[in-house]
Structure 1
């Protein structure tokens, strides 16, 4: 993976956001999109995990700040995403998803209903500023990292 950063900043930035797709994606469309994401992220040295369920996305991106913001800015400009909300942004010592150019999981409604962390995150986040609940979101991503590894 490439990790060139024009700023020369070697620190690892982790950024977690949520969004809603403007049109529901079929399984075929999801697979095609993830393949595009993986190849771009690999070139940029970005790793992470994306969860998709019923049109809702939660994703963590990791890499140099330059690379992460390049990807995040493209997501915010992408008309397929609506209501993009930044949950968490911080520098970390190590990547949580270092072996994945983009881990992916299409989460079923049943899995969402059964996942206590998600229920807590959803319950806390409805109608509130999601930044206050970034830890819950990151724990949710961590649960899926462990369960899909």
Structure 2
């Protein structure tokens, strides 16, 4: 199968999570993802993580397994598992957006988090276009 596997999950951050923890998560993720050929985006907002992982399906699932075992987050809920033609965040082994301290792309971020918590059956149809808009309007990704 050609293309790229996309997985989006949502989780609750541990109550005692610090920005030092987030920096460590990003450093380790970027190193491991580069080695595994995975790219993506991690968004932190109001004590929740939303992450898109993209790459070979077996590698993405391996990373998801490690995330589920990480006590810095819990209640990991997979929202989307799909194949696409291209990567959305191919330039970043793990882009990061802190939704708590930035005002850029606020509308897309609010739409994204509302779509995650909605009762809609087709989350893929809601979330993937918002992620594309978010990528285009978020120059502060790190």
SS in 2 for 1:42: helix
**Conserved? CA contact 2:116–2:127, under 8 Å:** no
Q: How does 1:53-132 map to 2 (within 5 A)?
A: 53-108=45-100, 111=103, 114-115=106-107, 117-123=108-114, 125-126=116-117, 128=119, 132=122
SS in 1 for 2:136: helix
**Conserved? CA contact 2:40–2:94, under 8 Å:** yes
Partner residue in 1 for 2:132:
142
Whole-angstrom distance in 2 between the partners of 1:131 and 1:100 = 30
Between the two proteins, the alignment pairs up a number of residues equal to 139
Q: Which runs of 5+ in 1 are unaligned?
A: 1-8
SS in 2 for 1:39: helix
TM superposition score normalised by structure 1? 0.78
For 1:50-108, what per-residue CA distance to the aligned partner results, in whole angstroms no more than 9, with x for missing partners?
10012101111000011101101111222222111111111111111111100001112
1:143, CA displacement in angstroms?
3.0
Task: List structure 1 segments (4+ residues) > 3 angstroms apart after TM superposition.
Answer: 109-112, 117-128
**Conserved? CA contact 2:39–2:54, under 8 Å:** yes
* Shift in alpha-carbon separation, 1:134–1:10, aligned structure 2, 3 A: closer
**Conserved? CA contact 1:49–1:145, under 8 Å:** no
**Conserved? CA contact 2:13–2:74, under 8 Å:** yes
Whole-angstrom distance in 2 between the partners of 1:138 and 1:127 = 14
RMSD: 2.6
